[in-house]
Amino acid sequence: MKENLFNLTSEQLKEIAVALQEKVNAGLKKDGEELACIPTYICPKTDKVEGKALVLDLGGTNYRAAVINLNDGKADLHPDNGWKKDLCVMKTPGFTQEQLFKEQADLIEEICDKPMPIGYCFSYPAASQPDGDATLIRWTKGVSIQEMVGQPVGAPLMNYLNGLNRTRYTGVKVINDTVASLFAGLTKPGYDAYIGLIVGTGTNMAAFLPADKIEKINDTYTAGGLLPVNFESGNFVPPYLTAVDGIVDTRSINPGCQRFEKAVSGMYLGEILKAAFPESKFEEPFDARKLTGMLSYPDVYKPEYVNAARQIYKRSAQLVAASLAGLISTLKSYDETIKTVCLTAEGSLFWSEDKNGKKYHEMVLDSLYSILADLGHSNIKVDIIQMENANLIGSAIAALS
């Protein structure tokens, strides 16, 4: 492998940030752009959100369910931390909507005791609808249940659950996991701007934008104010990807899509290492967790593997920082008074660590401040928040807003 193949200079990172900002602006003008910039037509309450909601969280690997009681600004979960199951089976070829609904229903049938709304955190590209539901645009993260593409996400599941003749559900609000993290951040008041970030199996960002800046909805949405926007930033094609990234993309189930995600997220970091050493054999599956294990226990592996793994890990953090810098620049262009940003970050990769080097989130923050300074925004302060059950809390806020 070429020495320092994955190295990015300060100037290159700045260019990536600027490119992200340009792609955001394009996605806000019209549909069909590289970044979907999907508005979510749910304006969350920021205080006095009270009541009970069933919350569901369907991620790239796991599924969780719980009942959340929001009262006086506090969230009580039943059962504690929710019930969780591995749903890797949904990546099986031929897996159906009916099978998915059954898997989801099995986990929740005993935790609801009265009618309540559903807050559904759905971690795949979906277009928000005015009624709070969402329409599936496409699957990512290795899932491909084609019968669900182009269809509503929430109502069919709610109807399935109500058809089981158990607890009746009174409505459903569907939000992306990144938007759920964004909503959860609102429990930390006092910031000028809020961002939700996921860096785990996949990656994405969300933020609140002035509705009048989302030009593509100006003819249909006139309420004004701030709207949550799910950028679907995993589909960003940043400059300075390598030939190795091209190999990973070609081998994936969705060539040409999610190029940023394939350079950054936990599902793909191990694939990048394997593509960099095509003649070598690696343990299968070789994911981000095993890659970080390689960094923490380097004596077990060949030095060239460890060196490449560290480059890939660092580049991932730098790319995330560049994308955040581009987004913050976008927010700043709409409101020059922004000086403090609350970043609610989720995902196992984001909170991972190299026992022999800097933690991932520390590398992100260091790079972010450096890029922001290069962009002329050295006065911005970013607080990174790690919140337990952020997806579930954000989904409950959506359901009860």
Give the type of residue at 20: L
- Residue whose token pair is 């004596």: 299
What are 82's two structure tokens? 């929710």
3-class SS at 203? strand
Band of pLDDT at residue 28, cut at 50, 70 and 90: very high
Q: What is the pLDDT of residue 47?
A: 66
Q: Which two tokens stand for residue 184?
A: 């959860």
* Helices (H), ranges, 67-153: 97-108
Highest mean pLDDT pick, 75-84, 282-291, 348-357: 348-357
pLDDT tens across 386-400, in order? 998 999 999 999 999
Containing 200, the helix (H) or strand (E) segment is none
pLDDT at 73 over 80: no
Q: At what angle do helices 266-276 and 288-296 cross, to 10 degrees?
A: 70
Report the percentage of the chain scoring pLDDT > 70. Answer: 99
Check whether 52 has a pLDDT greater than 80: yes
Give pLDDT, residue 21: 98
CA angle (62, 67, 70) in 5-degree steps: 120
Q: What pLDDT is recorded for position 140?
A: 83
**pLDDT attached to residue 341:** 98
Distance CA 188, CA 204 (A): 21
167, β-bridge pairs:
none
Contacts of 316 (CB under 8 A, 6+ apart): 199, 263, 264, 265, 269, 349, 360
Cα distance between residue 153 and residue 136, in whole Å: 6
Judged by average pLDDT, the poorest of 42-51, 78-87, 143-152, 261-270 is 42-51
Q: What is the pLDDT of residues 131-162, one digit of tens each?
A: 999 999 988 888 999 999 999 999 999 999 99
Q: What is the pLDDT of residue 46?
A: 66
Residue 223 has pLDDT above 90, yes or no: no
| Per-residue pLDDT, 125 | 85
Q: How far is CA 381 from CA 126, 310, 338, 387, in A?
A: 31, 28, 9, 19
Tell me what pLDDT residue 361 has.
98
**What are the φ/ψ torsions at residue 349 (nearest 5 degrees)?**
-70, -45
Q: Are 396 and 119 in contact (CB under 8 A)?
A: yes
Q: Which residue has the tokens 């951040």?
A: 185
With 80 as the cut, is the pLDDT of residue 243 above it? yes
User: pLDDT tens for residues 365-380?
Assistant: 999 999 999 999 999 9
pLDDT at position 8 over 90 = yes
- pLDDT digit string, tens, across residues 163-221: 986 778 999 999 998 999 999 998 888 999 999 999 998 899 999 999 999 999 988 88
Q: Among 227, 47, 202, which residue's Cα sits nearest to residue 125?
A: 202
Over residues 280-308, the pLDDT tens digits come to 998 888 888 899 999 999 999 999 999 99
